[in-house]
């Protein structure tokens, strides 16, 4: 019985990864499209943070990911690199973990020490961004907090999409 459950889990993870294709969309049916919703999220220490304060007049990337998702971890490592490259040009990246176990997220942060913000997603946040049906999923917001792009799945062109909104000369 344990082997069958393990096989089902492996097939499910594989299906999620395969379903997460490289889709880039400039339109979103998300209710958050025209504004940054009044939502409180928690940092890894359990402190409340207003989402609006995180999106503070910068081009902001919101990435929904999980520690158990290999393509999410790969994408997050790449985002870390271009955050370091463009943070002085007004880039902010917030990675919202959809993990159920905060300890797994804390372990990831301890092992990888990312400079980007890692925050736990909650149901209100997920609903505000149209529901997260697969991961990774990335939203690119302009300096006013409007969603400009929604990228579903691991994508090697996220940096190019972000650069469109940064003040790079």
Q: 57-112: per-residue pLDDT in tens? A: 889 999 999 999 999 999 999 999 999 999 998 899 999 999 999 999 999 999 99
Dihedral sign, Cα of residue 160, residue 74, residue 41, residue 139: positive
Task: Report whether pLDDT(20) > 90.
Answer: no
Whole-prediction pTM: 0.78
Residue of 62, 65, 63 whose CA lies nearest to 52: 62
Question: Which pLDDT value is given to residue 130?
Answer: 86
14: confidence class by pLDDT, cuts 50, 70, 90: very low
H helices then E strands: how many in the chain?
6, 8
Q: What is the mean pLDDT of the chain?
A: 80
Question: Which pLDDT value is given to residue 155?
Answer: 85
Question: Is 6 exposed, middle or buried (CB count within 10 Å of its CB: 0-12, 13-18, 19+)?
Answer: exposed
Q: Which residue has the higher pLDDT, 156 or 76?
A: 76
Strands, E assignment, 26-90: 40-42, 48-50, 59-65
Rounded Cα distance between 39 and 37, Å, is 6
Rounded Cα distance between 95 and 117, Å, is 6
Residues with Cβ within 8 Å of 70's Cβ and at least 6 positions away in sequence, in order, are 17
Question: Which pLDDT value is given to residue 169?
Answer: 58
DSSP 156: T
């Amino acid at each position: 019985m344990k082997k069958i459950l393990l096989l089902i889990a492996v097939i499910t993870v594989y299906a999620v990864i395969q379903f997460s294709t490289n889709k880039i969309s400039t339109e979103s049916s998300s209710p958050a499209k025209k504004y940054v919703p009044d939502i409180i999220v928690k940092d890894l220490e359990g402190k409340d943070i207003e989402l609006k304060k995180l999106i503070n007049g910068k081009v902001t990337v919101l990435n929904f990911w999980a520690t158990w998702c290999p393509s999410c971890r790969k994408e997050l490592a790449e985002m870390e690199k271009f955050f370091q490259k463009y943070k002085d040009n007004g880039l902010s990246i917030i990675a919202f973990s959809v993990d159920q176990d905060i300890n797994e997220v804390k372990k990831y942060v301890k092992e990888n020490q990312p400079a980007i913000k890692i925050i736990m997603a909650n149901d209100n946040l997920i609903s505000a961004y149209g529901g997260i049906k697969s991961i990774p999923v990335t939203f690119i917001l302009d300096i006013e907090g409007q969603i400009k792009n929604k990228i579903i799945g691991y994508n090697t062109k996220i940096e190019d999409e972000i650069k469109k909104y940064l003040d790079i000369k």
